[in-house]
Amino acid sequence: MNFETIEIGKLIQFAYDLHEKGLEMNFSRYVPNFKYNYGGNSPKIKEIDKGAVFGRRGYANHSESTVYTMLGVVIGNHLEKGFEYIKSIKFDAANDIQKGIYINILKLDNDKSSLICDCENKWDSLNDEMKLTFFLDAMETVGFRRNDVLDVLEGRKTAEQAFIAVASNDIVNKRWVNLFRKHFIFDGKTLIKGNLASFNLDNFPFPFEGPAIIDCSVTETSCIEFGENINGHKLVNINCNSNSIRYTDIKNAIIDEIIDLSIVNATATKIGHHVVINLDKSITPLKNIDLTFAIDENGNNFEVDVNGVVQFDENGKLKTFCSPANLIESKKINNFKNITNIKIFTNADSAKEVEKALENGADGIGLIRTEHMFFDSNNIPLFIGLFINNNNYDELLVKCARIQKIQATNIFKIAKGKRVIFRLLDAKLDEFMNCIEKPNYINFNKIRGAELLLEFPSIIKMQVKEILEAASETRSFVDFLVPMITDKFQFSKIKSIIDEIANERKFSNYRIGAMIENMSMANNADVLAREADFISFGTNDLTESVTGLSRHSEAADFINLNDKVKDIIKEGIYRAKVANPSISIGFCGEHSSHLSNLEFMKRMGADYISCTPSFISTARHIFTSIESENLNFPEEERQKIMHVLK
């Protein structure tokens, strides 16, 4: 039977957890001299019903980063006078199971006052039956149920299940994390002990799923970084610790309470859209606090410079403006269009589809997926060739440029001045690779969008040159859309390439937009909005990344924007509007073609949506009629639509 498994290691650690609270330096009033010498130090000892436990948790040495739990179990009987010793055993279990579990049988020394290793009866010399009996006796002595331990040994139960079966309520909810020589204790999902200084919570190994609650009154949180805060971790009792947010990035932290700057030190702190008070009494110079998104007790934002430092008027009064968060809800936010002026665009991949969309009444084309121009079986090898090192690269680039130019020219001619948004290549290369052998130097399953474009800048230049040439020849205005941005600096790099080419051609009738398709970019929408002319929420990829559902599932949970996706979108719009109040907001994806989402998009102040051609008339009718609920559909259809919208 194998006693060196992950579950046995956990069982030993859980046994220590059962008794950690009561471990003291003295063993028993019955045997005052009883001790065990552990590296020159006596471990903490606790008397229990059938003997005693002793142990400690820490590191083997100063350079060792793996945490070890040492657990000793003394089996015997407490008598009216003295103690009847039977046997004892010691375990050393590493959190990293690769480091192993070490088991030693102990015995009393000649004076019967101290425990020492039994060199004559070693664990490895015992047969399987003797090992099993000894181990079951030890685990039962510390408090586990004998049958549960046997189930763990034989794989029918986990160590945690055996622990939960016997642990008291004040212990069972506790979880321990040991990381980089630091110890953390969680009570349920609340961190009650530990120093999170310099940790990025996006990378912290929380011992549970979902958001954690970090209590500033009992933990050290200065220098903490919430990162994107993907799981929505929450900070509480901020004002109970003057250094709770010092040198921290809490821009994305969930904080429900008011931050009192007369109490807390906010030096070099990036505050999100949290309520802050007492700026005039701040113990930190305001020039050292980034208050870009912070709001006052009235819900107003502070006017700040590029570094997030608050500004004052000539009378020394703080400058504020009405918070976009409030204005989103009240539908009055600056530059948001009136409901009847929302533009209904459609998606298209070719001149023929553009023509059909405009015949159906589209105000423009909200998404030209340029990679689809190469879906023709004759063009796929040319397209794939752009991403593979070969001797004909320049020739392939010229051929692809010709295809791009012809398609763009035809689209501009049919559009006749209506807005057309060309999304730069967002090639999911794996979809193209069925016809050729995949080269091994690109991860075709993961790299796409902006990251792929920057890997091959010649493709960006080819696309932009040909589309601008077509726009110039047809005297058209053109919008470029940068897809699948995963790093806030990617957009800036691609924008500079587009601007440089446009300047060379003295072409000024263009705009550049950024797609937000993941939570990370929603949280960095302010960075994008400072440079972008418009933002488009790609709800397909955004929903996939948040829910894990596939856009091809046709499940209602995917088609209907859920609350978490809506919150991410709202956060993105909020941040974009703080940074650039005149930024234009659009939506594209399957969700723009479903009634259940239109009310939300309208409330978020969409300037346009891009839907399927067949949905154009329905969307327009809803947008122009929904406020009065005067939908001139047949009654049965009207009731169905209103039920969905509710």
Give the dihedral sign, CA 249/251/254/260: positive
Q: With bands split at pLDDT 50, 70 and 90, how would you rate the model's confidence at 320? A: confident
Any domain includes 468 = yes
Give the pLDDT mean for 19-48. Answer: 58
- Same-domain check for residues 429 and 563: yes
Amino acid at 290: D
Q: With bands split at pLDDT 50, 70 and 90, how would you rate the model's confidence at 357? A: very high
Any domain includes 640 = no
Percent of the chain with pLDDT over 90: 45
- Same-domain check for residues 521 and 377: yes
* CATH code of the domain containing 533: 3.20.20.60
Stated pTM of the model: 0.65
DSSP letter string, 153-221 = HTTSS-HHHHHHHH--HHHHTEEEEEETTEEEEEETTEEEE-B-TT-BGGG---SSSS--EEETTTSB-
Q: Domain ends where: 137, 171, 205?
A: 171
- Number of domains making up the chain: 3
Write out the residue range of the structural domain in which residue 152 sits.
6-171
Crossing angle of helices 595-603/635-645, nearest 10°? Answer: 50
pLDDT score of 336 more than 80: no
Q: Which residues neighbour 116 within 8 Å (Cβ) at sequence distance 6 or greater?
A: 37, 106, 107, 108, 109
- Same-domain check for residues 608 and 586: yes
- Same-domain check for residues 167 and 217: no
Kindly report which listed range (66-75, 464-473, 585-594) carries the lowest average pLDDT score.
Answer: 66-75
pLDDT computed for residue 31 by the predictor: 40
Crossing angle of helices 159-166/6-19, nearest 10°? Answer: 20
Q: Residue 468 is encoded by which pair of tokens?
A: 């601008």
- Same-domain check for residues 468 and 608: yes
Any domain includes 363 = yes
Any domain includes 637 = no
pLDDT computed for residue 328 by the predictor: 54
Any domain includes 336 = no
Collapse the DSSP code of 396 into the 3-class scheme (helix H, G, I; strand E, B; otherwise coil) and give the result.
helix
Give the pLDDT mean for 406-417. Answer: 94
Three-state secondary structure string covering 104-170: EEEEECCCCCEEEECCCCCHHHCCHHHHHHHHHHHHHHHCCCHHHHHHHHCCCCCHHHHHHHHCCHH
CB 87 within 8 A of CB 75: yes
Amino acid at 149: V
Give the pLDDT mean for 216-220. Answer: 89
pLDDT computed for residue 396 by the predictor: 87
Q: In degrees rounded to 5, what are phi and psi of residue 430?
A: -60, -25
Q: Which secondary structure element, helix H or strand E, spans residue 101, and what is its range?
A: strand 101-108
- Same-domain check for residues 178 and 166: no
Percent of the chain with pLDDT over 70: 84
Any domain includes 132 = yes
Give the pLDDT mean for 610-635. Answer: 70
Whole-angstrom distance, CA of residue 231 vs CA of residue 218: 22
Give the pLDDT mean for 59-78. Answer: 76
- Same-domain check for residues 164 and 192: no
Give the dihedral sign, CA 489/490/496/499: negative
- Same-domain check for residues 450 and 554: yes
DSSP assignment letter at 359:
H
Give the pLDDT mean for 551-568. Answer: 80
Whole-angstrom distance, CA of residue 264 vs CA of residue 260: 6
Give the dihedral sign, CA 412/415/416/419: negative
pLDDT computed for residue 115 by the predictor: 78
From the list 142, 65, 54, the residue with the least C-alpha distance to 99 is: 65
- Same-domain check for residues 448 and 396: yes
Q: With bands split at pLDDT 50, 70 and 90, how would you rate the model's confidence at 225? A: confident
Give the pLDDT mean for 173-186. Answer: 77
- Same-domain check for residues 325 and 377: no
pLDDT computed for residue 438 by the predictor: 52
pLDDT digits (tens, 9 = 90+) for 228-263: 887 889 999 999 999 999 999 998 899 999 999 999
- Same-domain check for residues 119 and 202: no
